[in-house]
Structure 1
């Protein structure tokens, strides 16, 4: 697996494991309701999104919301406001469902091949004489299975599978692939 640098950062290099950067980039691209959950507009929008499908109700259950349907209806009709703990759960359920819904669309787009840009570790603080020449890499990642694995691992929060998928991506770089087991950032578009 990626990450064979046993003493990463020993000489001052800064970065994160590639799979972490990959997950962060996916997180960064999740868009949704901007209004906070404790605002009337933000709460109403989240509740509408969550209650319009069985998947939304399941997301609410996963988030730990065990309110009765009449309580949820009272929230929707603005007759009752959820407690702070339920507001946080509603927000968590919203973002969970949003990620899952986006994952379906992203998997369809990404499987055709997506160009990614890999920024190597930050070496500005590396001890003089220990720096390495590691260029920014641009490559196209193709394949239904690799993107399916990445998206599923991201949705499930499966760090192990995301690490395996990252390792599969960087092995295509060639003999210097392990230089990208830790990176500063990764970028790609849909």
Structure 2
């Protein structure tokens, strides 16, 4: 991990290592049905989403949902409510598929037909630091140029590989010039994608 912030937070700076902020930024794009899987609406929405594509059936398989077609049809028709363990598996399959779809979409949007997209890098929050200890930090806006590098970041996020995210973040901030070390810890990352 890059960074001369050996005693990060000593004077009250608030933020997270860049790799974590990067992962959090991507994770914030994963949205979905808010209704719990135990509710009629939540269960029905998850079942519709999962049974709409082959990828949904694959997600159910990964989550350990192995029921007969007849049982699945009964679930979809709301004739039978899945057992508690299968409800948990449905929820896991739903969020797994949401994450995979967001990852694929994000890679496409970051590339943006070869034009790239803007990513906003917000430095640590220094509002709790005495004025004499504050540094002159500004938000940086970068255009994604190296899709391979950012695709690696998305893949590392999908794999929950913080070590790889950290390695990717170190490469990303090298492009920020001589003050790159300032961005080894961040308050957040914003995406135009």
How high is the TM-score relative to the length of structure 1? 0.88
Residue 189 of structure 2 corresponds to 186
Residue 82 of structure 1 corresponds to 82
Q: Is the 8 A contact 2:63 2:93 kept in 1?
A: yes
Aligned: 1:131 with 2:134: yes
Residue 164 of structure 2 corresponds to 161
Unaligned 5+ runs, structure 1: none
Counterparts of 2:62 and 2:162 in 1: how far apart (Å)? 19
Deviation at 1:182, TM superposition (A): 0.7
Residue 29 of structure 1 corresponds to 29
Alignment of 1:41-190 (within 5 A): 41-111=41-111, 112=114, 113-190=116-193
> What SS does structure 2 have at the residue aligned with 1:41?
helix
Alignment RMSD, CA only? 2.0
Q: Is the 8 A contact 1:3 1:17 kept in 2?
A: no
Provide Cα deviations, 1:120-175, integer angstroms capped at 9, x if missing partner: 11112224522111111111121220121122112222212211221111111112
Counterparts of 2:124 and 2:38 in 1: how far apart (Å)? 39
How many residue pairs get matched?
A: 190
Q: Is the 8 A contact 1:3 1:178 kept in 2?
A: yes
How high is the TM-score relative to the length of structure 2? 0.87
Counterparts of 2:185 and 2:88 in 1: how far apart (Å)? 33
Q: Is the 8 A contact 2:29 2:102 kept in 1?
A: no
> What SS does structure 1 have at the residue aligned with 2:133?
coil
> What SS does structure 2 have at the residue aligned with 1:179?
helix
> What SS does structure 1 have at the residue aligned with 2:2?
coil
Counterparts of 1:174 and 1:11 in 2: how far apart (Å)? 25
- Flag the 1:69–1:3 CA change in 2: closer, same or farther, 3 A: farther
Counterparts of 1:52 and 1:127 in 2: how far apart (Å)? 55
62-71 or 137-146: which moved more?
A: 62-71
Provide Cα deviations, 1:70-120, integer angstroms capped at 9, x if missing partner: 433332221221233332321221111112122222212212312111111
